[in-house]
Amino acid sequence: MTANLLDFDLEGLAVFCERLGEKRFRATQLFRWIHQKGASQFDEMSDLAKSLREKLKTTAHVQAPGIITQHISSDGTIKWLFDVGAGDAVEAVFIPEDDRGTLCISSQAGCAVGCRFCSTGHQGFSRNLTAGEIIAQLWFAEHFLRKHLNTPERVISNVVMMGMGEPLQNYAALVQALRVMLDDHAYGLSRRRVTVSTSGVVPMMDRLGADCPVALAVSLHAPNDALRDNLVPLNRKYPIAELLDACKRYLAFAPRDFITFEYCMLDGVNDTPQHAAELVKLVRQEPGNWCKFNLIPFNPFPASGLTRSPQATVLAFAKVLSDAGIVTTIRKTRGDDIDAACGQLAGDVKDRTGVQKRITIQRTVMLKPVVEIAPSGQGDVVNG
Ligand code: SF4
């Protein structure tokens, strides 16, 4: 079996080149061809010696997981379902905006955390993605979009690790993939433009701060332990006080001087003015504007038994936070017509048998828009 070069960061590729009897600097050339130019055929790599290209043909390949489906929303959001083998599939979503292009990436097939409002959580955990499978989502999307939009310029300016899975429960692969995203010989993304979203794996938050401090978003969703224990079961292990302490420690390393708290608005569950006031009290224990809130309209799915808070409730909740001087945004949802919005990722993969069937049937429609429906004007992508 040959090596998939998407599995390597630059150092790993240098070691691979040395094993082939090549100088380490060849790895930089190879890395640029793969990640900056999207090359997957060694014959395209014209500044590599022919002898090296021949060696690579017998020892290596460059390949992302196959695409099962591609859905393009009327608002320009694109969702891909990747086949990662054995009936598992993961999703990535591209969200175009005027001043940026954001890719939401998955880190695991399924998720073990089991948040009540998340369809991935209801699916259960299957396995961790490899670093190569994580970076392949960016590699595929970036180079597909350049061709699709007919531009040589970079299309994806921001990456959010908010797709399927809890990134900090797949730490080693996550950090390797982050390093490729940040590497100037690959995507050269700034730390401020790469965000890891966590449900609160406290020890790994500290490690991320030390190893690869990118922007951090924390899925809070409740102002007290009793409620959060119910919505985010990981809270029983790392309760709110410990989580907030970890957030404050992370600030010393963070590329931005704040932590973003994600808060999914659930009708009658966590969305009253009293809950908002409790949140204010919680974060005001620490002085300064060290956090922001992002209120997320819930995207209902039948198994959750939960419903979306009415808009007036969300606005009233936001007002309590804003009046207390806390920067608060309400997430616009995007891609509703293709189920690309928050908590909807994995809706397509709950039935693993069904996935297998679709893999067979839908390969024939690979890379064609499958759904094109009227604008919804809503939706961001993000599970956590
Ligand atoms: S919200 Fe995030 S951490 Fe929670 S179950 Fe969904 S994917 Fe896992």
What is the reported pLDDT for 159?
Answer: 98
Which amino acid is present at 354? G
pTM, two decimal places: 0.90
What is the reported pLDDT for 287?
Answer: 82
What is the reported pLDDT for 341?
Answer: 56
Atom 2 of ligand 1, nearest CA residue = 384
CATH says 3-61 is which class?
mainly alpha
What is the reported pLDDT for 333?
Answer: 76
pLDDT digits (tens, 9 = 90+) for 277-331: 999 999 998 888 899 999 999 989 888 999 999 999 999 999 999 999 999 999 9
CB 111 less than 6 A from any atom of ligand 1? yes
CA-based end-to-end distance of the chain: 36
Pocket test for ligand 1, best of 106, 107, 111, 243 (most atoms within 8 A of CB): 111
Atom 3 of ligand 1, nearest CA residue = 166
Catalytic residues: 91, 342
106 annotated among ligand-binding-site residues: no
Q: What is the CATH number of domain 66-365?
A: 3.20.20.70
Q: How confident is the model at residue 344 (pLDDT cuts 50, 70, 90)?
A: low
Which of 188-192, 346-350, 355-359, 376-380 is most confident?
188-192
Strand-pair partners of 93? 79, 104
pLDDT at 381 over 60: no
Look at residues 167, 172, 192, 195 and name the one whose alpha carbon lies nearest to residue 103: 195
pLDDT digits (tens, 9 = 90+) for 212-256: 999 999 999 999 999 999 999 999 999 999 999 999 999 999 999
212 annotated among ligand-binding-site residues: no
CB 384 within 8 A of CB 199: yes
299 annotated among ligand-binding-site residues: yes
3-state secondary structure of 32: helix
Distance from Cα 384 to the centre of ligand 1, integer Å: 5
Q: What is the mean pLDDT of the chain?
A: 89
What is the reported pLDDT for 222?
Answer: 98
177, 178, 184, 189: CA torsion to nearest 10: 130
Cα distance between residue 204 and residue 35, in whole Å: 28
- Domain locations along the chain: 3-61, 66-365
What is the reported pLDDT for 174?
Answer: 98
Distance from Cα 247 to the centre of ligand 1, integer Å: 18
